[in-house]
Chain A
Amino acid sequence: MPPSLRLNAVAFISPQNHPILIRTFSPQDDPIKYHYIAHTSLDVIEERVTSAGKSVECYLGLLYSMEDVAIYGYITPLRVKIVLALALSDAVVKDVEVTMIFKALHMAYYSAICNPFLKLEAANDTSSDISPFLLVGSPKWRKFRQRVDEISRVAGNATATTSAT
């Protein structure tokens, strides 16, 4: 059986470059490594987006690769960035599969921010100025994390020859 994609980490970053959610799936790596990776990805994304000008597509493709991971980027129309760290392997990684994973992550984020109770929490929390869209990544809201975990699990199970359901 050909080796499948392995998601090491997913990071969601707000338009103001604040982290929303960083979820790591590889037990052997220190999660802080992916914080660092997400941070460095921001520069690459900025560069890609400004050079593309008006005609920017959501899927940014391979941003760069390091040691053992390949970093892919995606930017939503409202400038939320999604960074995906895939474990480097010999298998050919198809663009269309990565795009599908990004779309699924985008939809998971979208469903999570539509929760009306986020607004309530942000309104009650008058001490800090946190936007409700940042709150969605907090441990209190489990469904978003569950969806992201689910996507990672499904992507991991898909083989290179068949597309993920």
Chain B
Amino acid sequence: MATTSKQYKAIGEDLWKGRSEKINAELFALTYGALVVQLIQDYEDYAEVNKHLEKMGYNIGTRLIEDFLAKSGLGRCADFREVGEVVSKVGFKSFLNITPTVTHGAPPPPPSPNRPSSINTLSQTSAGSSFTLTLDENPLAEFVELPDEALEGGLWFSNVLCGVLRGALEMVQMQVQAEFISDVLRGDESTEIRVKLVKYLEEEVPVGDD
């Protein structure tokens, strides 16, 4: 297990270094900040803004996963625990150059014995699994200080990240719920995103021709 973790870290590092098109961090932070402020001006309701940030992230995630799989060449993850490891050590690292700490959730309760299908056993045992990503630095929120209205309104400034996770994982047949639990911008101790597996999607998986 420890070796695999180190391998993932190495893959992530290589992917980051191998990227020729990097963007200036300040430009990125300022652009995202301007985007959020514009959304606030347009919708004037922080819950709506959260929803739209998540939706935008979803659209980004569905496309980003293609780039990720092509460049990393990683195969299917064995279980949801591995998904967490790959997302934090390879995913975040290769796109944002940060490695959030991943904490795996408690294993879900055993499935009810009355489910007929045996193929679904694996997905049954995993549904309800979760992992939490703790970001100790957030490149999106580099210069941000939230005003009181945003704090009271419940704005999650970096909510686009939750959308990206949901979109990307949906493209690899996992339906997840990703949400912020805490954010240093709101005065909390740390910035945490919890990703919970709802179910595996039973779509037809195209056979890979490698």
Task: Spell out A's residues near B (CB within 8 Å).
Answer: 111-112, 114-117, 119-121, 123, 140-143
B143 surroundings in chain A (CB, below 8 A): 111-112, 114-116
Q: Which of A119, A123, A142 lies in contact with B145, CB distance below 8 A?
A: A142
Q: Which of A111, A112, A120 lies in contact with B147, CB distance below 8 A?
A: A120
Query: Which chain B residues in 117-173 approach chain A with CB under 8 Å?
Result: 142-148, 150
When the two chains form their complex, are residues A141 and B145 in contact, meaning their CB atoms are under 8 A apart?
yes
Looking at A111, A119, A120, A123, the one whose CB has the most chain B CB atoms below 10 A away is: A120
Q: Which of A119, A140, A142 lies in contact with B37, CB distance below 8 A?
A: A119
When the two chains form their complex, are residues B150 and A114 in contact, meaning their CB atoms are under 8 A apart?
no
B144 surroundings in chain A (CB, below 8 A): 115-117
Question: Within 8 Å of chain A (Cβ to Cβ): is B3?
Answer: no
A141 surroundings in chain B (CB, below 8 A): 145
A142 surroundings in chain B (CB, below 8 A): 145
12 residue pairs A–B, Cβ–Cβ below 8 Å? A112-B145, A114-B143, A115-B33, A116-B37, A116-B143, A117-B147, A117-B150, A119-B37, A120-B37, A120-B41, A120-B147, A141-B145
When the two chains form their complex, are residues A117 and B146 in contact, meaning their CB atoms are under 8 A apart?
yes
Query: Which chain B residues in 33-50 approach chain A with CB under 8 Å?
Result: 33-34, 36-37, 40-41
When the two chains form their complex, are residues A140 and B34 in contact, meaning their CB atoms are under 8 A apart?
no
When the two chains form their complex, are residues A114 and B142 in contact, meaning their CB atoms are under 8 A apart?
yes
Question: Within 8 Å of chain A (Cβ to Cβ): is B30?
Answer: yes
How far, in angstroms, from A98 to B150 measured CA to CA in the complex? 38
Query: Which chain B residues in 8-40 approach chain A with CB under 8 Å?
Result: 26, 29-30, 33-34, 36-37, 40
- From known contacts A140-B147, A143-B145, infer whether A116 and B33 are also in contact, taking CB-CB under 8 Å: yes
How far, in angstroms, from A115 to B142 measured CA to CA in the complex? 9
User: Closest CB of chain A to B181's CB: distance in Å?
Assistant: 23
User: Closest CB of chain B to A107's CB: distance in Å?
Assistant: 11
When the two chains form their complex, are residues B30 and A116 in contact, meaning their CB atoms are under 8 A apart?
yes
When the two chains form their complex, are residues B142 and A123 in contact, meaning their CB atoms are under 8 A apart?
no
Looking at A116, A140, A141, A142, the one whose CB has the most chain B CB atoms below 10 A away is: A116
Nearest opposing residue in chain A for B147, CB measure: A117
Q: Which of A114, A120, A121, A140 lies in contact with B30, CB distance below 8 A?
A: A114
